[in-house]
Structure 1
Amino acid sequence: MPARFDASDCPVPAWLPEGHSQTIVGARWGSHLRVSFQRERVDTPDGDFLDFDWATPGNQPVAALAAQDAEARKALVLFHGLEGSSASPYAQSIAHHFRARGWVVVVPHFRGCSGTPNRLPRAYHSGDSGDVEFMLSTARARLPRAAWYAAGVSLGGNALAKYLGESGAQAGWLAACAAVSAPLDLTAGGHNLGRGLVNREIYTRMFMRTLRNKVLDKARRFPAIIDVMRVAESRDLYEFDDAYTAPVHGFAGVADYWTRASALPWLPGIAVPTLLLNARNDPFLPGAVLPGVHQASDQVLLHQPARGGHAVFPAGRLRPHLNWLPRRLERFFTTRQ
């Protein structure tokens, strides 16, 4: 059976005519309510750590919730995007929306994204199923009686979708999942971010500034492992991933990394009800390479609105708000539609 398809649109403001304006204005000026988190640091089996930010009803400690009768409680693991965190606008709007409805929300930070450098030469990447599994199992262990859901945005969406496809029925303890603006074809997305004035001068420059700085700091601690000159001279994600991400994380090069870490080939293996939400005007991933219904399992709903840009999906008339995306996630989680 093929996947289901939804083409209904996101009601973006009329004065935001295309994907770049919807992405940039939505991320920088989209209105959203904010939520505070409680941080938990968890050591990993390889000697590193991950920071989990928890948002709970009434700001109760997670341990206190676990001691209660929580059979009917719903909980959401939210994976952030490239260089994102629990402070990212989409994470704030989603976490506030679900916590206000009685859910527990946890944002596990990929290595080095919580504001504190991680301990190892490695960092994180788009297809790190091992860390995704560790994050999910850690969250589940804190509230084992809750009904668990998962969502990922951008890089986090690709990593989650790949994990779900690889895991198949073993991920069946998750009630439903969603991947938002996921670059499911990393090769197409990576090359696309290197083309065009806005992609190169705004998005790529923004990512490269923080990525380079983090890795150059690592190089001072691990001088024999990281090629400092290649990282310092990298101008885009292709060159950065070829100089650092691929070799440090066990890939032969950027082409091998982008191919093996892409979620697209794994979509037929998804056995959990999953929403794949991608705007067709997303400047990070060309609409022409978005999956069709025969490229994913019958557990998948492909929602591909014509508008929405990348990650935030601004809605409204005058000042855009970021309420549409969390409402869309809630609708899928509760109705599978």
Structure 2
Amino acid sequence: MGALLSLFVAMAHTPRLHFAQSPAAIRIRKEHSSTHGETPTLSALVASQCPSLFTRFRPAWWLSSGHLQTFYSAIGDFSNIDKVEYDRTLLRTVDGGTLGLDFTGPADPSELPADTPVVVVLHGLTGGSHESYVRAILAPACTPVVQGGLGYRAVVVNFRGCAGVPLTSPRLYSGGTTDDIRTALMYISATYPGAPLLGVGFSLGANVLVRYLAEEGDQSRLNAGCVLGSPWNFPANIDALESTFFRRTVYSRSLGQNLVTLMKRHLNSLSKFPDAPMTQAMAAVATMNRPLLTTFDDTMTRLCGGPSPPFPFPSGRDYYVWASGHDLLPKIRVPLLAINAADDPLVPMLPVDTGNAALSPWVVFSVTEGGGHLGWFEQASRFSAKRWITKPVLEWMKLVGNVVADTRRMKSLREADGFTKEEGRDDIGYVKVEGGGHVVGVEGQDGLLAGL
């Protein structure tokens, strides 16, 4: 018994927090100035408003390793908890693609003030709004304040072809392509012009969010961001993912097969584009059986994972180098909380592990000792677990949504050629199209590690 208790105590660690040498001074709303001062630093605000980042995360005793945490996140039954229902809006992009935006909140929008924060979610590799890790955040975030929630609105941006979104152009998505989230944010900011927009990205979606924030700088339509399980350095973490027989067989091949399964769902759609590189690559993809992730990316993603340029890339490796987000952290200009687990089997290499990581003054980087990939399960009762990560994410969302002042300098929108576009860019834009409907957010897509 004593040995078991010692093991449990050893599994409990306070997250390691990393800030820039001089954290940014944060403007806060007038109503909070008497409490926090006019311009407190990011580190001071986190210390006062995000206590979970300073308390120990204790993994459930039966989920003591990163592998077990990851498997439970992928195959656990979460269909009866964190239930979220959405109303889907379909947007047609300038290149003919389709984005699926799943909105959730009160049935009557007039129930909430115009400045109610909106959580904008980007999911993992082949996931969507149904994923349990998405619902674990959105269920409490959108619960009314009187019932213990934040009382926010939320929208999940489903990538092209994911979660039932039709594939209407010969182009896929990727971990480095930001035009689709940029387009979605144009629509969301126009729909809620007075609301703070708070980004939350998971895994692949986390890397997309980091790249968007770095590219936009102080003109970001997002007031703040939070990224969980970001893959950061693609080449280094892909190499680690395929460095052993176990990792290649269990992780890389499962992720590769999920992408093959996703593409096969859209065979009929691709037949409309017989000459497109995506359609030609599909002939090889259709014959694959549990390929390595690198095999799929070298066959398909490098060709059509985004607009041209920069696609196509000479190889999957070239795509990985371009897509990585770890070197972009110094360019962030809005508050960003990044959380990774040190025992994540999919992302063992983190920017802060090098000892000389360059962080923007706007970034706080938290590393938990346990948690796996999008797991972070702690014990709820004798034989049940709950996600610890919900607590620090909600504390962060409350801070950046209710306390931090809105300092965005967004570009104006205009109508051109039937699309809503951003000033200075003609290559991206949207028009709302028919379709969508009501979406019940429970587990709806199959495949091991499907949403990771």
Query: Same fold judged by TM-score > 0.5?
Result: yes
Does 2:221 align with 1:176? no
- Helix, strand or coil at the partner of 1:78: strand
- Please list the CA deviations of residues 302-333 of structure 1 after superposition, one character each: whole Å capped at 9, or x if unmatched: 10000011113112254444442222111123
Match of 2:241 in 1: 193
The answer to whether residue 329 in structure 2 is matched with residue 242 in structure 1 is no
Could you tell me whether the CA contact under 8 Å between 1:279 and 1:309 is conserved in 2?
Answer: yes
Deviating more after overlay: 99-108 vs 24-33: 24-33
Structure 2 equivalent of residue 82 of structure 1: 125
Out of 316, 320, 326, the position equivalent to 1:258 is: 320
Q: Is the 8 A contact 1:7 1:306 kept in 2?
A: no
The residue type equivalent to 2:398 in the other structure is T
Separation (CA, whole Å) in 2 of partners of 1:104 and 1:242: 38
Q: Structure 1 residue 54 and structure 2 residue 103: aligned? A: yes
- Structure whose residues are more often strand by fraction: 2
- Is contact 2:98-2:166 (8 Å) kept? no
* Separation (CA, whole Å) in 2 of partners of 1:229 and 1:56: 42
Contact 2:122 2:206 in 1 (8 A): yes
Question: What are the Cα deviations for residues 282-315 of structure 1, in whole angstroms up to 9, with x where unaligned?
Answer: 0111146555574220110110000011113112
**Aligned partner of 1:247: which letter?**
L
2-structure distance, mates of 1:245, 1:78: 22
190-199 vs 152-161, greater mean Cα deviation: 190-199
The reply to whether residue 105 of structure 1 matches residue 169 of structure 2 is no
Verify: 1:143 aligned to 2:186, yes or no.
Answer: no
> How far apart are 1:152 and its partner, in Å?
0.2
Q: 1:330 aligns with which of 385, 391, 394?
A: 394
Q: Deviations over 1:140-171 (max 9, x none)?
A: 22111112111100000000011111211111
Per-residue Cα deviation, 1:77-130 (whole angstroms, up to 9, x for no partner): 010010011111101111101011211010010000021431112110001111
Equivalent position of 2:281 in the other structure: 227
Q: Which moved more, 1:227-236 or 1:160-169?
A: 227-236
Please tell me whether the aligned partners of residues 53 and 107 of structure 1 are also in contact (alpha carbons under 8 angstroms). Answer: yes
What is the identity, as a one-letter code, of the residue corresponding to 1:227? A
Query: Residues 69 and 220 from structure 1, CA distance in 2 versus in 1: closer, same or farther, beyond 3 angstroms?
Result: closer
What SS does structure 2 have at the residue aligned with 1:316?
Answer: strand
Partner residue in 1 for 2:91: 42
Contact kept in structure 1, 2:351 and 2:357, CA below 8 Å: no
Select between 117-126 and 233-242 the one with higher mean Cα deviation. Answer: 233-242
Q: Is 2:138 the partner of 1:95?
A: yes
Shift of 1:279: 0.3
Residue equivalent to 2:73: 26
Task: Give the 3 Å change call, closer, same or farther, for CA 320–309 of structure 1 in structure 2.
Answer: farther
What SS does the corresponding residue of 1:242 show, helix, strand or coil? helix
Residue type of the partner of 1:258?
Answer: Y
**What amino acid does structure 1 have at the position aligned with 2:159?**
F
Show structure 2 runs of 5+ residues with no match: 1-19, 24-42, 47-52, 144-148, 306-310, 401-452
Corresponding residue number in structure 2 for 1:310: 373
- The reply on whether 1:205 has 2:253 as its aligned counterpart is yes
Paired residue type of 1:311: L
Distance 1:145 1:69, change over 3 A: farther
Mean CA deviation greater in 1-10 or 186-195: 1-10
Shift of 1:186: 1.0
* In structure 1, C-alpha distance between the alignment counterparts of 2:225 and 2:383, rounded to whole Å: 30
Greater share of helix: 1
Moved more, 24-33 or 107-116: 24-33
Q: Which amino acid aligns with 1:265?
A: D
User: Cα gap change, 1:116/1:174 in structure 2, threshold over 3 Å: closer, same or farther?
Assistant: closer
Alignment partner, residue 362 of structure 2: 299
Measured in 2, the distance between the counterparts of 1:111 and 1:163 equals: 17
Over alpha carbons, which structure has the higher Rg? 2
Contact 1:11 1:315 in 2 (8 A): yes
Gap change, CA 1:163 and 1:293, over 3 Å in 2? farther
Q: Is the 8 A contact 1:74 1:104 kept in 2?
A: yes
Residue 220 of structure 1 and its aligned partner are, at CA, apart by 4.1
Cα root mean square deviation, aligned: 2.5
Match in the other structure for 2:177: 128
* In 2: Cα distance, 1:42 partner to 1:103 partner: 23
Rounded to whole Å, the distance in 1 between the matches of 2:190 and 2:137 is: 22
State the TM-score, normalized to the length of structure 1.
Answer: 0.89
Structure 1 contact 191–238 (Cα < 8 Å) conserved: no
8 Å CA contact 1:40–1:52 kept in 2: the answer is: yes
Number of aligned residue pairs: 330
Q: CA deviation at 1:278?
A: 0.4
| Separation (CA, whole Å) in 2 of partners of 1:206 and 1:116 | 22
Q: Is the 8 A contact 2:232 2:350 kept in 1?
A: no
3-state SS of the aligned residue for 1:36? strand
Percent identical among aligned pairs is 28
Aligned-pair distance for 1:191? 2.3
SS in structure 2 of the partner of residue 241 of structure 1 = helix
CA distance in 1, matches of 2:199, 2:358: 21
After superposition, the Cα gap between the structure-2 partners of 1:288 and 1:275, relative to the gap in structure 1 and judged at 3 Å, is closer
Letter in 1 for 2:335: P
Q: Which deviates more from structure 2 when the two are superposed, residues 293-302 or residues 23-32? A: 23-32
C-alpha displacement at 1:33, in angstroms? 1.7
